[in-house]
Chains A and B, each alone.
Chain A
Amino acid sequence: MTPLVETQNLTRRYGSNLALDHLNLAIPEGAIFGFIGPNGAGKTTTMRILTTLLSPTSGEARVAGISVTSEPRAVRRLVGFMPDFFGVYDNMKSWEYLDFFGRSYGIPAQRRQQLIGELLELVDLGHKRDAPVMSLSRGMKQRLSLARAMMHDPRLLILDEPASGLDPRARIELRELLKELRAMGKTIMISSHILTELAEMCTHIGIIERGKLLAAGEVQEILRTMRPHRIVEIRVVAGAARAEEILRTHADVLELRREGARAESEGDAAPLDDETGPHTLLADFAGDEHALGDMLAMLIAEGVRVSHFAEQSGDLEDIFLHVTKGIV
């Protein structure tokens, strides 16, 4: 995929504080890019540069090949921005809020009226068309804000912590909405602290700390390459004791646990009895794909009957904790 967003050595200083340090980022068109990092890592700074609200100290940022510094107006046509707060106007109805931003993006009156209806339906706020913005719940305001960011049909949506402060239902609704937007062909850059949600909805992620990009790429690729080891889940129907013995002595198995058991008490536990099974073993495996295949073959050859042998799905939180140092 062609990158829609590209930054090259993007650097931003606030006095002596280095907020972004030669950031090189590429977000492919059509991706949902999760931007992860501790507070103060430089996520908002990057997003503000991409929305032309902030100028970089050095380096370059481009959206669809257009420089944010030399052609900010052209970039603004391509970018819809939803900050981490919802700006409220007094005495304004939902449709008026969208109408105002539609006017601000120069959308003709006739098209604007049609668009307001369509977008309110898209974010499930059609019934709140004439409701004062102030009267909407936080989740509804976030959805209205998303509709606002969509008014000029941008190719790139930049969403800064869109799920913060939302209740679980509102989060799920927002997540579904983002999936819908992706299906519409939008590229979405999203920052969030709720990593499990990002893992579920993002196609790509970037991990940033102290202004440096520590890792970036497709979620599955990152999970595969950045995890310290993979966890293999093995369900044994017969020969559990033998399986445990083989795995404990296997060179690539760093640690072996019985599901639900504490690791430190593992050594003292009695051998597994097939009568009480089937048993599930969790192996921290350091080897590659071939070594994993060999291990399964070895278990089978030793007469162990395996009903389930699979790598556990990755946990973005583990990766995040592994990659970042928690320094701001």
Chain B
Amino acid sequence: MLELNPILVKDLRSRMRGARAYILITIYLLILAGVALLLYAAIAQDIGNDLNAGRRIGQALFFTIATVALIEVCLITPVLTSGSIAGEKERQTYDLLVASLLTPWQIVWGKLVSALAFALLLIVAIVPVMSLAFLFGGVGLTEVLIAIAGLVVTAVLYATIGLFWSAMLQSSLGATSFAIGTVIALLLGIPFLIVIFTLILGSSAPSDLLESIWFIYLSRFVVALHPFIALGATASQLSSGSGPFFEVVRTSTTNVVVPSPWVLYTIFSLIAVALLLAASARLVQPVQSGADRQKRAGKER
């Protein structure tokens, strides 16, 4: 009989044992529900007898819950994985793992999937809260599915970033700091670059440049590197009547078909995940040749 990955079994056992996991889920859902409640109270006060009130409340609830959930996923998932391999080094169980018959891929994969299983539990847990939006209308199934896909892809990407730093560094604290640092750099750095780029181009940018195919693709690619911008742009396109997978950009000369931002974001994320996983597995090779390992082995000797 095919057995589950040993690391996955061990980590899930450890993670779900005790009150820690349940407390985290409870806090996570309380924040979401609290935000939803406050938002509803604020919008209901403001809208009065508008005929589209339900629709507006539904949309506001949905986008707010999706955004809060995305923020939480961005912050929680790298922390879930950043202590995984570094934690083995700190507990001095790392050598026992790499001296066993587990392959580096099994170790990396087991660590990722066990963290993701918990992250997916968090994502699944928000579905009932998110579904509140359906009571009010204004939100379609496509939006909900794309939001969930975006959350899942973000969870996988950011968990892999945490895992990479965990394989690279010796301490959980260092790995967590670098993982959170990377996430902050991505989340703040990309919008910063977009703003700088926009300011440089300004209103004086020639229309030839703005309508060139490479510029259209490049701008969409940059937008697609950021989960909030990519998913926000997708929502905006859906509300303006575009399809869920492609966007048609009309220039003065031609129409350019570009994949929807969430599709590009998913593709980029999966490529980054593959590269980071390969790098992590390489760092977990049992035969040590890196400077860190030399230093460590020299100390132990």
Contacts and interface: CB of A to CB of B under 8 A. Distances in A.
B17 interface: yes
A208 B298 CA distance: 16
A72 to B, nearest CB: 7
Interface string B259-301: 0000000000000000000000000001111000111011011
Contacts of B101: 73, 76-77, 104-106, 152
B18 A55 contact: no
A45 B301 contact: yes
A87 B91 contact: yes
A251 interface: no
Interface in A36-91: 40, 42-45, 48, 51-55, 69, 72-73, 76-77, 79, 81, 83, 85-91
Contact of A52 (B1, B102, B287): B287
Contacts of B102: 104
Contact of B13 (A15, A44, A96): A96
B97 interface: yes
Interface stretch (B3-11, B147-155, B223-231): B3-11
A111 to B, nearest CB: 12
B98 interface: yes
Contacts of A101: 96, 100
Contacts of A76: 99-101
Which of A53, A72, A148 is the most central at the interface, judged by chain B CB atoms within 10 Å of its CB? Answer: A53
A40 B97 CA distance: 25
A77 B99 CA distance: 9
Nearest to B294: A14
Contacts of B26: none
A312 B63 CA distance: 87
Nearest to B298: A14
B253 interface: no
A123 interface: no
Nearest to A102: B6
Interface in B95-154: 95-102
A126 to B, nearest CB: 22
A42 B300 CA distance: 10
B1 A109 contact: yes
B14 interface: yes
A183 B98 CA distance: 29
Nearest to A110: B1
A294 B107 CA distance: 68
A254 B252 CA distance: 110
B92 interface: yes
Contacts of B95: 48, 51, 53, 81, 83, 87
A14 B297 contact: yes
Nearest to A211: B301
A87 B294 CA distance: 20
B93 interface: yes
Contacts of B17: 91
B92 A87 contact: yes
A103 interface: yes
B91 A89 contact: yes
A103 B6 contact: yes
B286 A91 contact: no
B298 to A, nearest CB: 4
B300 A44 contact: yes
Interface in B1-55: 1, 3, 6, 9-10, 13-14, 17-18
Contacts of A25: none
Interface in A1-53: 14-15, 17, 19, 40, 42-45, 48, 51-53
A43 B297 CA distance: 12
Contacts of A19: 298, 301
A146 to B, nearest CB: 13
Nearest to B94: A87
Contacts of A43: 301
Interface in B44-102: 88, 91-102
A83 B301 contact: no
A87 B100 contact: no
Contacts of A100: 6, 9-10
A150 to B, nearest CB: 13
A181 interface: no
A295 interface: no
B96 A92 contact: no
Best-surrounded residue of B17, B18, B100, B300 (most CB of chain A within 10 A)? B100
26 contacts: A15-B294, A44-B301, A51-B95, A53-B99, A53-B287, A53-B288, A54-B287, A54-B293, A55-B287, A55-B289, A72-B286, A81-B95, A81-B99, A83-B96, A87-B93, A89-B10, A89-B91, A91-B13, A91-B17, A92-B13, A92-B14, A100-B9, A100-B10, A104-B100, A105-B100, A152-B101
Given A69-B287, A109-B3, 4 more contacts: A55-B287, A73-B101, A91-B18, A100-B6
Interface of B: 1, 3, 6, 9-10, 13-14, 17-18, 88, 91-102, 286-289, 293-295, 297-298, 300-301
Interface of A: 14-15, 17, 19, 40, 42-45, 48, 51-55, 69, 72-73, 76-77, 79, 81, 83, 85-92, 96, 100-101, 103-106, 109, 148, 152
